[in-house]
């Protein structure tokens, strides 16, 4: 096992270990996004059942703000991608789809 504490931080020897850590994070992120999507669908269904709308733009603004505050402008792009993946496709009126 490679001891990262004894190797220079920019040493090529660290690349496989660091990539393994990145891969583990990517797997965790995808699991979390899938869980977020499942919860989002439940919220949408409950809101619709209560006579509300499927997408609440105020809530989406809060999510954008959270990601932008934590990650800067790149956070907005990430928030867009996560919201799109979790809310499902937007349903357009038949006339707008043409």
Number of helices and strands in the chain (H, E) = 3, 0
List, for residues 23-77, the tens digit of each pLDDT value.
999 999 999 999 999 999 999 999 999 999 988 999 999 999 999 999 999 999 9
- Distance, CA of 90 to CA of 74 (rounded, Å): 23
pTM: 0.77
Tell me which of 6 and 12 has the higher pLDDT. 12
- Cα–chain-centroid distance for residue 7? 33
- Domains detected in the chain: 16-87 (1.20.59.10)
**pLDDT over threshold 90, residue 3:** no
């Amino acid at each position: 096992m490679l001891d990262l504490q004894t190797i220079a931080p920019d040493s090529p020897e660290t690349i496989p270990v660091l990539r393994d850590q990145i891969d583990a994070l990517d797997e965790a992120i995808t699991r979390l996004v899938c869980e977020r999507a499942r919860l989002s669908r439940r919220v949408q269904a409950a809101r619709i059942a209560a006579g509300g709308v499927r997408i609440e733009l105020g809530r989406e603004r809060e999510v954008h703000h959270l990601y932008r505050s934590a990650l800067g402008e790149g956070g907005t792009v990430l928030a867009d991608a996560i919201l799109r993946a979790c809310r499902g496709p937007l349903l357009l009126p038949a006339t707008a789809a043409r």
